[in-house]
Structure 1
């Protein structure tokens, strides 16, 4: 199935947040359903393959797609123009942001954009966004299908910066592409420690009773392939591991986007297959 896709920007401002996004929809979208695409750490809705991915999903599944920048993404109008927000981002904040997007889709309104209301959702998250999607799928029963791309399997990876934060330092994350030093305060660590049970990615995966596709490159340089295995083992029989042979963390794609790669197309094919099967 393919169709012409229209992209409409929206801005949602729940308390304490500013969510900029896009709503992608074909000429005859499936009723009562929507997909949500979530970026990862140092990602944003317009990074690299995300616009192409959203267009592909909307065109090939016939389901409306919402993509957005998390409030703590560090991106407002352009590339990483709000590093203060980036420095204080947490997993709990991302879950609240995603909840606001789902609430807007359910209500039929994203900011000042009116849309057909949806009561069934599919989630797709890349890297850290994959963990956020797993956690949200375990909390909201309207989520009927889940796809992760190169997802982390635990939020505890941020314990690696604990010594620097305990010494009163700000962690600096270099951005090789933009040449920015991106600050990271200890909020993410404090949030993780205070909410270990609620932020347990594998426990949430184990609670799921929905189809799950865990897509991961076998040559991922940022998140080990073993993370994918752990997620699938936790999720059980309803989960499918899709190992993309030789694929990197971003499936050989970069920013600016130079077009799809065979590895990226394999990831999209697996995603389309799951969402088409779930939503018909």
Structure 2
């Protein structure tokens, strides 16, 4: 992964109160440009007292970075992603990015397959910026990608670290993720399959949802989330799911938790919650951030 261009948003004349935000274009291992945004932790900023104004911002090495993986048809500048980033930034630095085929990123969406390379590039960027501890938080498609990334780039997969050390997550949070591929048991998922597999559906995806979708089928079929979960340990894992999720019923998170084995995952079943980042309210996002910054490293 490399950063091929980087800029900064305009900042105010009081930098301690408004830490600089960075935008970058990252290159994945297969050469796809991915847009990304970095926001430092705001925990000490925006407070009116003089002590806060005089307190220097913590160094990246002292701060957890949360890398946010959005759901299908999302993007770095979508309101729900920006809201999650603002809440997370109260406790941690935050990296958001657009998966391939989404937003200003290049390539085409493979709906959870090659996207694991996009997440790896974002995690590696957080470490390049100085963060020693990085936690991934994925929603829906991004949740399945976070699970696969945790399995494929984790300590269990690469005990000798090596080239994958910089892309490893220290903890994983998966929100509203499926347990298995090709699920069509709900009306929203049947509509999604139409968008992904039909030419007319991909036309709607491109011009209606601003998502460019690859035409080829998976070859080979990527590791299913339920098979990825047991391989994430020893990294801590949090599974979050709403009991009113219209896409994936509760057998999905329960299957994932069972696959993790005793003590392998913490499961939160949220009463009244729908699906993914759009349904996660600020209180839930704050609880996720608290978990991400409190759990011990693997």
Gaps of 5+ in 2: 1-16, 42-56, 155-167
Structure 2: how far apart are the matches of 1:266 and 1:212? 20
Name the count of aligned residue pairs. Answer: 241
Q: C-alpha root-mean-square deviation of aligned residues, in Å? A: 3.2
Q: CA deviation at 1:229?
A: 1.3
Structure that is richer in strand per residue: 1
- Structure 1 partner of 2:14: none
Structure 2: how far apart are the matches of 1:184 and 1:231? 27
Q: Secondary structure at the match of 1:214?
A: strand
Gaps of 5+ in 1: 109-114, 254-262
- Structure 1 partner of 2:218: 190
Structure 2: how far apart are the matches of 1:223 and 1:43? 18
Kept in 2, the 8 Å contact 1:146–1:212? The answer is yes
Kept in 1, the 8 Å contact 2:111–2:141? The answer is no
Instruction: Confirm or deny that 1:97 pairs with 2:122.
Output: no
Instruction: Confirm or deny that 1:271 pairs with 2:296.
Output: no
- Structure 2 partner of 1:258: none
Q: CA deviation at 1:265?
A: 2.5
Counterpart of 1:46 (choices 77, 80, 86) is 77
Structure 1: how far apart are the matches of 2:249 and 2:294? 28
- Structure 1 partner of 2:247: 222
Q: Which has the larger radius of gyration?
A: 2
Structure 2: how far apart are the matches of 1:264 and 1:135? 25
Structure 1: how far apart are the matches of 2:27 and 2:214? 24
Structure 1: how far apart are the matches of 2:210 and 2:285? 32
Q: CA deviation at 1:225?
A: 2.4
Structure 1: how far apart are the matches of 2:24 and 2:256? 33
- Structure 1 partner of 2:135: 122
Q: CA deviation at 1:134?
A: 0.4
Q: Which runs of 4+ in 1 moved over 6 A?
A: none
Q: Secondary structure at the match of 2:21?
A: strand
Q: Tell me the TM-score normalized by structure 1.
A: 0.73
Q: CA deviation at 1:279?
A: 5.4
Within 5 Å, which residues of 2 pair with 1:152-167? 152-157=178-183
Counterpart of 1:204 (choices 213, 220, 228) is 228
- Structure 1 partner of 2:164: none
Deviations 1:74-129 (A, max 9, x none): x218xxxx8xx44x5253320111222223333x2xxxxxx32x343210000000
Q: 1:276 to 1:104 in 2, by over 3 A?
A: closer
Instruction: Confirm or deny that 1:70 pairs with 2:99.
Output: yes
Structure 2: how far apart are the matches of 1:250 and 1:171? 25
Structure 2: how far apart are the matches of 1:12 and 1:182? 19
Kept in 2, the 8 Å contact 1:172–1:182? The answer is no
Structure 2: how far apart are the matches of 1:222 and 1:200? 17
Q: CA deviation at 1:138?
A: 1.0
Instruction: Confirm or deny that 1:136 pairs with 2:149.
Output: yes
Deviations 1:192-239 (A, max 9, x none): xx134xx22112101222222211111111222221111111123131
Q: 1:41 to 1:10 in 2, by over 3 A?
A: same
Q: Tell me the TM-score normalized by structure 2.
A: 0.69
Kept in 2, the 8 Å contact 1:213–1:270? The answer is no
Structure 2: how far apart are the matches of 1:182 and 1:68? 14
